[in-house]
Amino acid sequence: MAHLWIDNPPTGWEELQLDGDQQVQLNHNPPLLTKSDRTGGRLTPTIRTAATSTASESIWVLLAGQADGVWVNDAPLVLGIRRLVDRDEIRVPGAGTIFFSTESLAQVKAHEGSPVTCPRCRTVIESGSPSVRCPSCGVSHHQSEEFPCWTYAHSCVLCPQATNLEVDDRFCPEDL
């Protein structure tokens, strides 16, 4: 799941979750951000209304008119569309500086949808069982006192994502 860091001078950096299908206005009309999905490698800059499946990869696309004066990473958005990648810096007149980030925190949640196999213990994660969905690879692991499969090792079974649940060590523009 992605989010935006928005520079809000009185309070500092604010995090805006881009969770689910939505558009983000950013003090702007027409909306600048829409979510689309990768379908057979095609980039579809349309607003999705259907629910995202756990297996699909979300792509965030920045849309703006040439007259909007939007810049991404020190270059003007000449074509009016750009696929955002982690840590892109977006500058919007009237909205200041915004950072795009795809990092998200691992959270313990009740497993939703059909049962899946935990990659750590290879038993089934039933619907409703406490589990952690890896923010990087999207694979669910058990996480309870009985089955601490997510925090059992320092990283996810299938990718290098750290399994620490307490420390928020994600990217923040303040660290720059």
| Binding stretches for Zn ion (CB under 5 A) | 118, 120-121, 134, 136-137, 142, 147, 149, 156, 158-159, 161
The residue (of 101 and 129) whose beta carbon lies closer to Zn ion is: 129
Rounded least distance, CB 76 to Zn ion, Å: 36
Cα gap 80→68, rounded to integer Å = 9
In whole angstroms, the minimum distance from the beta carbon of 169 to Zn ion comes to 16
Q: Name the 3-class secondary structure at 46.
A: coil
Contacts of 146 (CB under 8 A, 6+ apart): none
Looking at beta carbons only, is 101 or 163 nearer to Zn ion? Answer: 163
Residue placing its CB nearer to Zn ion in the complex, 3 or 120: 120
CB 142 to Zn ion: min, Å: 3
Backbone angles phi, psi at 66, to 5 degrees: -60, -35
Q: Are 26 and 98 in contact (CB under 8 A)?
A: yes
Q: Which CB atom, from 98 or from 149, has the smaller least distance to Zn ion?
A: 149
Nearer to Zn ion, 46 or 123 (CB): 123
Distance CA 99, CA 81 (A): 16
Per DSSP, 155 falls in state B
Minimum Å gap between C-beta 56 and Zn ion is 16
CA–CA gap between residue 154 and residue 137 (Å, rounded): 15
CB of 103 to Zn ion, least distance (A): 13
Across 99-123, b (16+ Cβ under 10 Å) vs e yields: bbbbbbebeeeebeeeebebbbeee
